[in-house]
Amino acid sequence: MLPGGGELLFCAHHAREHGPKLREIATDIHDETGKLADTPATTPDSED
């Protein structure tokens, strides 16, 4: 969340790239990067 109330959403790649600067100006950061490992990259073969 930005000081003026705006919200920015980033993919994990760009959040890592711009994170240090965003932390300087943001009033709140909600990072859900950890959820990426919980989701399988592909569906199991049994779901055909």
Per-position DSSP letters for 2-44, written without gaps between them = -TTS------HHHHHHHHHHHHHH-S-----GGGGGGS-SS--
The predicted structure's pLDDT at residue 33: 83
The predicted structure's pLDDT at residue 32: 87
pLDDT in tens, 20-29: 999 999 999 9
Nearest-angstrom CA–CA distance, 17 and 13: 6
Residue 46: pLDDT band (50, 70, 90) is low
Nearest-angstrom CA–CA distance, 38 and 43: 13
pLDDT in tens, 28-44: 999 888 887 765 666 66
* Residues 6+ positions from 1 with CB-CB distance below 8 Å: 7, 26, 27, 28, 29
